[in-house]
Structure 1
């Protein structure tokens, strides 16, 4: 089994007719999925998603893949192939198209409709190429065949990529639901046909590799959802991913059956469900969906709201309702149906939202107390089935944290794949498929690129550290008027304290230390205000840590007397 090596450098030149695979996101994390294939001077990108920030990344909106490795070869990108319409697979596309706007964007009908709406916000008119299962298309030196896969959003695709180096099967996100709501099952016959041809590299979804057995069918949720609608005494508020068309369809069916009207809340929910309805992926009985202002005039037991915020996002509708920061006021007897799973890292945020909603008297139904969600990813039994069916020469687990990738690798080995042909990689590692064997040969930059409002890449790890310090330790500003020639203070420095529990007068003992440090700096010929600020900052920071066992952010300001 191949492992990452910290000593790896930039990869060597790719031999002619070889295939290079570089994941710029999605390995070692849930999200930011992006894989670049290189073959005979041409590049093919599969997915370009975003990762959502965690609590230790304050102020960050989304996290992008690092495009550094691509910037001097943007003209060689033949296409971006999108496997499905979830944000962790399409959210980064607008930012890549800012670098080169005419890259063809390839995907299924629904996927392209969703990315088209997203790109309108960025004022980008993309070059879209619609494909469907069973089609073949060639982009650069890549012959792509598209196969239907079942997931928690309609129109998911796997892609078979043929090159002179061999055949790669990339599953995207998938599961093997035998009774999907849209009756569109994963194309196992297509998988078997590729297996007969010989799959040289199998890249498969790892998210549920630790979960034994087979993933539950979406249909099995119907009784739990129906019970909520049958027993709820007042309003029902459903939170879900804005792209989860299948789940919203179940909610609409239940609402219609129980005589309730429905309104969508949240811009992304309104946009995505409008697209799904327009394209026929969402079947909406006439008169069921009404504007929010009309819904407010109906009796509570005739009302259903469908909103975003299933992951506890602070600015999403559900969290704002929990915090009494939304025009929809949660009250006694309301029922909240959280019809989604928990993305790793969001547990605390979701718990906070549930507590907030419960405080106002709501009954919160969630995955922990009712069967209201099933995963969109294949469990271990399905993965083993695929390995036995496909019998790939090489395997590269994708889409998952380290524990998921390793569990998927172990499943492959248990079905007979040679451990030397199982590539366990992480973001930025370069994998070459040459002469039928896949191996790690180097690495390229693949760090986090933070989006903060309209700024891309402006926020650094250092800035995030400062933000965390501000939140946890407070800030102390030291204003000093200094004679740069003598190194003496013209007046005692002023201390401005924010978010720090101690009084300004508590900093008086630091003044002699500042005076001594400035005198030493003067003797050494240090008189530049910026350098003196560093001297004061270090001295006050060390003193504060010794005295208070705290490390506030120190902001020194030196004015030359």
Structure 2
């Protein structure tokens, strides 16, 4: 294609900038669209009861007739977890590496979407034509198998989406990053138009360690253990899991797999050929007690202190099959996702209280990151030599520092752009600029409800969690005369048996307020409910400085 006058490429992030997780980009050229990843984020502390957070899809749904497909970079939930929710509304093929699509297939089956979904495997090093877009899949290293950067070709030059990445020169699977392809894109004609690059570890100097560095640590841990070894890691980190499998084989231990996501990832990786584990190695977690402790290793979920994960339940003492012993050596082989530090700390404390030896990142070499540090980020910039640069995958401070790092590496300040969710970023031959803004943000998933919990509901949940609720039940006739009640019921507010005087006075105040309404002939429910609330609100605050939710229930006969 020849470059037309005023031709431009547009990219709109719908997640993954100014935040950790929920990665999603929409690339547009010549009135056609390509979606890159669509992931979830995990709820913040104030998003009570929420299971997942997914991107706002409005912009995509309004333009679905323009979408040629979805491309995914790797199988982490923050890159593929929202795709089932998206495919409930649009019907387009999904292209990606084999392991990512293998994990996605399991999720689509859970959503009953597999039969109407089209998944197309693209191997690293290959290119695929998706509508008018030619997309190269370029191998990079990360903490999950089969991770690819993408190069989406346009007449103005390729747009490189670097995915989550690091450059591991001694990877466990011997699949090294394709530095040559990245360099070819950077040195070719017309050169890379724009680079979108991972900012997660921009605050770390130097290089990120190799996954193989863990092998020596695991060897020491396994060889020095007199009891069981219990290791928690991310269920998607197949390279780490492979090293645990290999250590268990070398030290003649049986390996139990615990936790639903760990079991699913283990089976998927084994089925697709990404994991090599002898059949006689694996035992059911329920059978661990049938073997001597020194012959047992357990691979489990819970590295982030998730309340219902297997390791967390062991720490609390309510796991169905595993009771933590003094002789146990427990390894948390993961770093904390921002926001999870408190949960992880509490899990570690509880494990120590149960007498176990606990090894974790701060005190032992049991984890290496899957994200590039500063020198690798500079290398990505130098290899691709982009005209424009947009830092992604990080909170605002990460994006800002990555932009500064790029400028130190020679990128002109006017050619860098720090994006917000919903920005329509236009790349032309002359400049990068924001030309519009579309609706973007968080959609909250609570059970089977998608988007039906908003700020008002969350505010109510916050109030309930902090101050409890008072329910006032009463019956009136058509003239507003009080026939029965008011009865006051509380939950999470005060213990009624120890607060009888407070409840009696509150009941009297409601009665007096309702008598005043009756005298004035007020029978409208909205006014009566407001009267009940007002009669209690100030009294309770003045009495005990609390602001519970007050819920009047008025029945008329």
| TM-score, length basis structure 2 | 0.93
Using the TM superposition, give the Cα deviation of residue 209 of structure 1 relative to its aligned residue in structure 2, in angstroms: 0.6
- Mark the CA change 1:510 to 1:303 in structure 2 (over 3 Å): closer, same or farther: same
Tell me what 2:242 maps to.
249
Using the TM superposition, give the Cα deviation of residue 540 of structure 1 relative to its aligned residue in structure 2, in angstroms: 2.5
Q: Which range moves more in the overlay, 469-478 or 344-353?
A: 469-478
In structure 2, the gaps of 5 or more residues are: none
- Mark the CA change 1:109 to 1:302 in structure 2 (over 3 Å): closer, same or farther: same
- The CA distance in 2 between the partners of 1:177 and 1:525, in whole Å, is 79
Tell me what 1:181 maps to.
172
Using the TM superposition, give the Cα deviation of residue 18 of structure 1 relative to its aligned residue in structure 2, in angstroms: 2.6
Residue 96 in 1 paired to residue 89 in 2? no
Q: Which range moves more in the overlay, 490-499 or 158-167?
A: 490-499
Using the TM superposition, give the Cα deviation of residue 485 of structure 1 relative to its aligned residue in structure 2, in angstroms: 4.4
Residue 465 in 1 paired to residue 459 in 2? yes
Q: Which range moves more in the overlay, 147-156 or 266-275?
A: 266-275
- The CA distance in 2 between the partners of 1:387 and 1:115, in whole Å, is 30
Tell me what 1:207 maps to.
200
Q: Which range moves more in the overlay, 541-550 or 377-386?
A: 541-550
Task: State which of 20, 36, 39 in structure 1 corresponds to 2:29.
Answer: 39
Contact 1:530 1:558 in 2 (8 A): no
| Cα distance per residue 1:30-77 (max 9 Å; x no partner) | 111111112222211111111112332221111111112222222322
Using the TM superposition, give the Cα deviation of residue 178 of structure 1 relative to its aligned residue in structure 2, in angstroms: 1.1
- Mark the CA change 1:144 to 1:520 in structure 2 (over 3 Å): closer, same or farther: farther
In structure 1, the gaps of 5 or more residues are: 1-14
Tell me what 1:402 maps to.
396
Task: State which of 420, 423, 429 in structure 1 corresponds to 2:414.
Answer: 420
Using the TM superposition, give the Cα deviation of residue 211 of structure 1 relative to its aligned residue in structure 2, in angstroms: 0.6
Secondary structure in 2 matching 1:543 = helix
Tell me what 1:61 maps to.
51
Task: State which of 362, 376, 380 in structure 1 corresponds to 2:374.
Answer: 380
Q: Which range moves more in the overlay, 442-451 or 250-259?
A: 442-451
Residue 130 in 1 paired to residue 121 in 2? yes
Contact 2:230 2:329 in 1 (8 A): yes
Tell me what 1:228 maps to.
221
Tell me what 1:9 maps to.
none
| Cα distance per residue 1:95-137 (max 9 Å; x no partner) | 111112x311111111111111221111112201111122221
Q: Which range moves more in the overlay, 143-152 or 518-527?
A: 518-527
Contact 2:6 2:428 in 1 (8 A): no
For this pair of structures, how many residues does the alignment match? 545
Contact 1:18 1:164 in 2 (8 A): no
Q: Which range moves more in the overlay, 397-406 or 289-298?
A: 289-298
Task: State which of 249, 255, 262 in structure 1 corresponds to 2:255.
Answer: 262
- The CA distance in 1 between the partners of 2:35 and 2:6, in whole Å, is 19
Task: State which of 105, 116, 133 in structure 1 corresponds to 2:105.
Answer: 116
Residue 298 in 1 paired to residue 287 in 2? no
Using the TM superposition, give the Cα deviation of residue 153 of structure 1 relative to its aligned residue in structure 2, in angstroms: 0.7
Contact 2:94 2:120 in 1 (8 A): yes
- Aligned pairs for 1:433-444 (under 5 A) are 433-444=427-438
- Mark the CA change 1:495 to 1:194 in structure 2 (over 3 Å): closer, same or farther: same
- The CA distance in 2 between the partners of 1:241 and 1:35, in whole Å, is 25
| TM-score, length basis structure 1 | 0.92
Residue 168 in 1 paired to residue 159 in 2? yes
Residue 555 in 1 paired to residue 547 in 2? no
